[in-house]
């Protein structure tokens, strides 16, 4: 491996590790438990899982891999707060969508060279990117990994034992 590919390999390992933790934490919970709040008055587990799924799905166009597969997730899990939208998806639906979007992302990630990772992401103009070249795909990957970890920490609080 070159230095570049080793650095990218580390970032992809960190991404996969956090995605795997989401699978383990949410993937096997019955619907009844998914409907529980992580703490009194806070978001329910299903909302956090849907929120992370919507963000993963939105990465597909942001990183230039194609169109979103489930844009309807945003109304349920991003632009509206938990418990304000009457119909949201079940855990079974989310599991399928989470796995499908995760697979698309991993497949596309594996095709990118270092130069590709350092290209601009979809939400920055060519002009802004000239001034701010750090607004690239790699920065998005790292930021979104931290975003998954942020909500994993919250979801973990729903478990009974005290954990850090």
| Nearest to a copy of itself of 78, 96 (CB atom) | 78
Q: How far is CA 109 from the centre of its chain?
A: 14
- Listed in sequence order, the residues at least 6 apart from 148 whose beta carbon sits closer than 8 Å to its beta carbon are 18, 19, 21, 22, 52
| Separate counts of helices (H) and strands (E) for the chain | 8, 0
**Which of 7, 35, 104, 124 touches a copy of itself (CB under 8 A)?**
7
Among 30, 67, 115, 126, binds a copy of itself (CB under 8 A): 115
Q: What's the CA gap between 50 and 77, in Å, rounded? A: 6
Instruction: Using the minimum distance from each CB to a copy of itself, give the nearer residue, 8 or 29.
Output: 8
Which residue ranges make up the site for a copy of itself (CB under 8 A)? 1, 3-4, 6-11, 13-14, 17-18, 38-43, 47-48, 51, 78, 81-82, 114-115, 117-118, 133-134, 136, 138-139, 142-143, 145-154, 156-157, 162, 164
């Amino acid at each position: 491996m070159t230095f570049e590919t080793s650095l990218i390999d580390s970032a992809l390992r960190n991404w996969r590790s956090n995605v795997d933790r989401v699978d383990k934490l949410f993937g096997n919970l019955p619907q009844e438990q998914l409907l529980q709040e992580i703490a009194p008055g806070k978001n329910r587990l299903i909302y956090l899982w849907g929120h992370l799924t919507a963000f993963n799905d939105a990465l597909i166009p942001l990183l230039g891999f194609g169109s979103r597969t489930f844009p309807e997730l945003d109304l349920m899990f991003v632009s509206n707060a938990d418990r304000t939208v009457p119909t949201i998806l079940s855990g079974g639906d989310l599991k399928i969508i989470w796995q499908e979007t995760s697979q698309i992302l991993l497949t596309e990630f594996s095709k990118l060279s270092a130069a590709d990772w350092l290209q601009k992401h979809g939400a920055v103009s060519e002009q802004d990117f000239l001034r701010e070249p750090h607004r690239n795909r790699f920065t998005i990957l790292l930021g979104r990994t931290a975003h998954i970890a942020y909500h994993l920490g919250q979801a973990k609080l729903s478990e009974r034992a005290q954990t850090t």
